[in-house]
């Protein structure tokens, strides 16, 4: 019996619903071929006419002829990759997962390095476990964009940083992707005294050889927790370091924009915060190609808040809310609250900075704040009508923080309703000024960068 792929859900109004497919049904073949993984599936359904063989929950097999006009079928499978996840073979000196404390949920310790997650969810790949067959399939199926964690263009240094003697052999693979027209985005996790300075200059220079198929490269600072015993000795960047990084990046941006009409190399927002420099204007971000990597998020939020407020007359309504966030975003949020108060002078919106005692005070992003830190630092405060929290504090599609504390537990402990705010600046303004907002306790389902080369906890929501 063919194993097939179990259907988890069917989108309302989709082709799949029209064909009476249901959760629990199993997709066996498309056009008579078994499906190896999501690459095969995406390629197969991108045809005007296809034939599905499906085993229904009652054991019946249905053969369905579909004219889909290149649309998505509206099927979500139990296994998003339609095959096993590939774990990372590296032991990166900057890996965030190696800096996790013991006793957390098992999924947070899984390191993935899977090209299919790069295509589906935007995760960054080291390419160290990709065979020529994998590259062939990406090219054959024209799957892009593919996101690549370069770290450095120095092959010997890359082997050292990834602790993998084959890590310096990826550049022929990248050239094959470029020559085949596969769109790519790149990332450099910068480690002080390792791949910065002259090495960063070399990396930027040599990465430009992959333009225009390599559309952008982000440079983000390594995240260092307090759980680094026995790991490679890394030091945090200083304000002076951040200024040097930005000067180097801005110099290349100016040069490349004149030549290509594209800034190409981008600094994560954390560099501007550390350097105490203003966030660049929107045009610098080339359409926000690496927004989910923390590149341009503060600029976009500021512009969206301004746009939403420009549509409003303002009034004398009374409202009192508290917004909790990490140290990095707090000054920016306070500026937005001042703008809101200009139109709504009786709206009191207090921004509270949560110190990350769980991972260490050097971790300043809101996405790594735990429920425990949140509750302990807010307990006993007058939080007003509602506590507002950014959605990146929660797991994708869930109502739990990294430490498995739920939103409901936070509400009960703090005796205050909690509202989760989605990313758009318009959502922030509405949450602050409008009382009759629907209370949301879950983060919307979205990709989470999970590969160890991205320094992030592995989590598939």
Q: What pLDDT is recorded for position 20?
A: 92
Q: What pLDDT is recorded for position 121?
A: 53
Averaged pLDDT score across all residues of the chain: 86
Q: What pLDDT is recorded for position 45?
A: 85
- What residues contact residue 111 under an 8 Å CB cut-off, 6+ apart? 87, 88, 90, 95, 97, 451, 452, 458
| Highest-pLDDT range among 62-71, 281-290, 451-460 | 281-290
Are the beta carbons of 49 and 65 closer than 8 angstroms?
Answer: yes
Helix (H) or strand (E) holding 419: strand 418-421
Q: What pLDDT is recorded for position 107?
A: 58
Q: What pLDDT is recorded for position 441?
A: 52
Cis status, amide bond into 402, omega within 30 of 0:
no
Distance between CA atoms of residues 249 and 268, nearest Å:
11
Structure tokens at 284: 């610098």
Query: Is a pLDDT exceeding 80 seen at residue 329?
Result: yes
Structure tokens at 176: 């094959």
pLDDT digits (tens, 9 = 90+) for 204-250: 999 999 999 999 999 999 999 998 888 899 999 999 999 999 999 99
Distance between CA atoms of residues 15 and 365, nearest Å:
41
Q: What pLDDT is recorded for position 437?
A: 58
Q: What pLDDT is recorded for position 143?
A: 80
Query: Is a pLDDT exceeding 50 seen at residue 96?
Result: yes
Q: What pLDDT is recorded for position 219?
A: 97
pLDDT digits (tens, 9 = 90+) for 381-414: 999 999 999 998 987 667 899 888 999 999 999 9
Distance between CA atoms of residues 28 and 51, nearest Å:
11
Task: Find the mean pLDDT for residues 148-156.
Answer: 95
Using a cut of 0.85, tell me whether the model's pTM lies above it: no
Neighbours of 212 (CB within 10 A): 12
- Percentage with pLDDT > 90 across the chain: 62
Residue with tokens 């909790």: 324
Q: Which of 149, 178, 174 is nearest to 164 (CA)?
A: 149
Are the beta carbons of 73 and 15 closer than 8 angstroms?
Answer: yes
Task: Find the mean pLDDT for residues 337-344.
Answer: 96
Tell me whether strands 265-267 and 184-190 are parallel, antiparallel or unpaired. unpaired
Structure tokens at 75: 């099927």
Q: What pLDDT is recorded for position 296?
A: 95
Query: Is a pLDDT exceeding 60 seen at residue 169?
Result: yes
Q: Minimum mean pLDDT among 141-145, 183-187, 198-202, 310-314: which range?
A: 141-145
Distance between CA atoms of residues 419 and 414, nearest Å:
13
Distance between CA atoms of residues 18 and 41, nearest Å:
19
Are the beta carbons of 392 and 421 closer than 8 angstroms?
Answer: no
Q: What pLDDT is recorded for position 461?
A: 33
Per the model's pLDDT, the better-predicted residue between 105 and 384 turns out to be: 384
Q: Which of 446, 286, 258 is nearest to 267 (CA)?
A: 286
Task: Find the mean pLDDT for residues 334-346.
Answer: 96
Task: Find the mean pLDDT for residues 80-94.
Answer: 72
DSSP characters for 39-80? HHHHHHHSSSEEEEEEE-TTS-EEEEEEE-TT----EEESST
Query: Is a pLDDT exceeding 80 seen at residue 136?
Result: yes
Query: Is a pLDDT exceeding 60 seen at residue 115?
Result: no
Residue with tokens 């989590």: 459
Structure tokens at 270: 């954390």
Q: What pLDDT is recorded for position 449?
A: 29
Q: What backbone torsions phi and psi does residue 67 show, to the nearest 5 degrees?
A: -100, 105
pLDDT class for 446, splitting at 50, 70, 90? very low
Query: Is a pLDDT exceeding 60 seen at residue 454?
Result: no
Q: Minimum mean pLDDT among 12-26, 51-65, 84-98, 419-433: which range?
A: 84-98
Q: What pLDDT is recorded for position 1?
A: 54
- Bridge partners of residue 63, in order along the sequence: 53
Q: What pLDDT is recorded for position 278?
A: 95
Task: Find the mean pLDDT for residues 443-461.
Answer: 34
Structure tokens at 195: 């791949």
Distance of CA 196 to the CA centre of its chain: 23
Query: Is a pLDDT exceeding 90 seen at residue 308?
Result: yes
Cis status, amide bond into 405, omega within 30 of 0:
no
Q: What is the largest CA-CA distance in the chain?
A: 68
């Amino acid at each position: 019996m063919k194993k097939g792929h179990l259907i988890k859900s069917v989108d309302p109004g989709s082709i799949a619903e029209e064909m009476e497919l249901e959760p629990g049904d199993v997709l066996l073949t498309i056009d008579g071929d078994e499906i190896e993984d999501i690459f095969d599936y995406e390629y197969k359904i991108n045809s005007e006419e296809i034939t599905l063989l499906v085993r229904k929950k009652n054991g019946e097999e249905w053969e369905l002829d579909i004219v889909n006009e290149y649309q998505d079928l509206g099927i979500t499978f139990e296994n998003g990759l339609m095959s096993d996840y590939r774990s990372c073979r590296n032991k990166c000196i900057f890996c965030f997962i190696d800096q996790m404390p013991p006793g957390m949920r098992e999924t947070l310790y899984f390191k993935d390095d899977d090209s299919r997650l790069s295509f589906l969810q935007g995760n960054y790949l080291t390419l160290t476990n990709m065979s020529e067959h994998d590259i062939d399939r990406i090219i054959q199926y024209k799957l892009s964009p593919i996101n690549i964690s370069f770290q450095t263009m120095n092959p010997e240094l890359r082997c050292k940083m990834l602790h993998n003697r084959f890590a310096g052999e990826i550049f022929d693979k990248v050239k094959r992707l470029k020559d085949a027209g596969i769109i790519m985005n790149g990332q450099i996790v910068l480690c002080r005294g390792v791949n910065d300075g002259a090495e960063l200059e070399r990396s930027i220079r040599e990465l430009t050889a992959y333009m225009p198929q390599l559309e952008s490269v982000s440079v983000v600072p390594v995240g260092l927790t307090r759980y680094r015993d026995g790991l490679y000795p890394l030091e945090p960047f200083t304000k002076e370091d951040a200024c040097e990084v930005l000067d180097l990046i801005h110099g290349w941006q100016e040069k490349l924009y004149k030549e290509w009409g594209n800034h190409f190399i981008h600094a994560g927002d954390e560099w501007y915060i550390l350097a105490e420099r203003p966030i660049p204007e929107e045009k610098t971000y080339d359409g926000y190609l690496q927004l989910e990597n923390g590149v341009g998020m503060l600029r976009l939020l500021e512009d969206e808040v301004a746009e939403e407020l420009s549509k409003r007359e303002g009034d004398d309504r009374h409202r009192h809310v508290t917004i909790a966030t990490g140290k990095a975003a707090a000054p920016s949020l306070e500026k937005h609250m001042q703008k809101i108060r200009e139109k709504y002078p009786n709206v009191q919106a207090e921004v509270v900075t949560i110190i990350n005692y769980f991972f260490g005070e050097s971790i300043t992003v809101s996405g790594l704040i735990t429920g425990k830190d949140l509750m302990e630092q807010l307990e006993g405060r007058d939080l007003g009508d509602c506590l507002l929290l950014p959605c990146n504090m929660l797991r994708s599609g869930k109502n739990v923080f990294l430490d498995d504390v739920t939103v409901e537990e936070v509400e009960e402990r703090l005796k205050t309703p909690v509202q989760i705010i989605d990313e758009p600046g318009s959502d922030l303004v509405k949450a602050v000024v409008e009382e009759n907002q629907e209370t949301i306790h879950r983060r919307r389902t979205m990709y989470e960068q999970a590969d160890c080369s991205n320094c992030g906890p592995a989590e598939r929501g």
